[in-house]
Amino acid sequence: MDENKEYCPFCRADLQGPPIPKEIQHHYGATHGSRKIGIYSREEDRVIKWQCLYCKQEWEREK
Ligand SMILES: [Zn+2]
């Protein structure tokens, strides 16, 4: 069905976390957790980049 898998663009590690219980999915806006790390920008007050938990590479966040 919803194959919304996430992979690291560098090492291709599977970044999809465990499923989020249906009752609290609306808090996350997603059906699964994520293993990637958000890089927060204080100036922009938002997450601007992601970092891979495994290889520590960073990439731009898509809108
Ligand atoms: Zn990686």
CA of 62 relative to ligand 1 center, distance in Å: 17
Note the pLDDT of residue 3: 57
Q: What is the DSSP secondary-structure string of 7-61? A: B-TTT--B-EEEEPPGGGHHHHTSSEEE-SEEEEETTTTEEEEEE-TTT--EEEP
pLDDT tens profile 11-53:
999 999 999 999 999 988 889 988 999 999 999 999 999 999 9
Residue 5 confidence (pLDDT) above 50: yes
Asked if residue 50 lies in contact with residue 41, where contact means CB atoms within 8 angstroms, the answer is no
Q: Within its chain, how far is the Cα of 38 from the centroid?
A: 7
Residue 1 confidence (pLDDT) above 50: no
CA of 46 relative to ligand 1 center, distance in Å: 22
Q: In angstroms, rounded to a whole number, what is the distance separating the alpha carbons of residues 24 and 40?
A: 23
CA of 26 relative to ligand 1 center, distance in Å: 27
Amino acid identity for residue 31 in this structure: T
